[in-house]
Amino acid sequence: MRGGGARVLAGVLLCTLTACGSLTEREAAAGAAAARFGTSLRTSDAVRGCAALAPGTRDELERSAEQPCVRALPQAGLPPPGPVRSVEVYGGQARVVTRRDTLFLSSFPGGWKVTAAGCVPRSGKPYRCLVKGG
């Protein structure tokens, strides 16, 4: 029985580390998380917007703005993203392109969280993002 329990535990850990689910399911979940974040921006719901941020992103926003997330997020200058146009998932990471923004997300035990928002591509360089983790 010990070996069986270890295999189950190993399977759960592997599933957690590789963001279980089909690619379509992971894309849908990441897109839905980005859309919820966009709704929080559009409706000025900073509490939900901050809850949608990854912990490191929320911490960096608070540190750089020198104020709590619920005050800093509305002042970050993020565009209301608009409808999701495309979602690309790579393991536990995702890039969601909307009509007005590009967001990056990571999969956490509680679901997808925004790691960067207000991102614009730069030729030959990484994206420049208004909100990002440290």
Q: What is the pLDDT along the chain (134 residues), one digit of tens a residue?
A: 444 443 433 333 334 444 457 889 999 999 999 999 999 999 999 999 999 999 999 999 999 999 999 999 999 999 888 899 999 999 999 999 999 999 999 999 999 999 999 999 999 999 999 999 86
Take residue 77 and report the two structure tokens written for it: 């200058």
Take residue 67 and report the two structure tokens written for it: 């104020």
E-assigned strand segments in the chain: 84-90, 93-98, 102-108, 111-122, 125-132
Take residue 85 and report the two structure tokens written for it: 């146009």
For 57, the enclosing helix (H) or strand (E) is: helix 55-65
Distance, in Å, from the CA atom of 131 to the CA atom of 134, rounded to the nearest integer, reads 10
C-alpha torsion angle, residues 74, 106, 122, 130 (rounded to 10): 20
Take residue 92 and report the two structure tokens written for it: 């536990």
Look up the pTM and report it: 0.82
Q: What is the pLDDT of residues 1-22, one digit of tens each?
A: 444 443 433 333 334 444 457 8
Distance, in Å, from the CA atom of 74 to the CA atom of 121, rounded to the nearest integer, reads 22
Distance, in Å, from the CA atom of 98 to the CA atom of 81, rounded to the nearest integer, reads 6
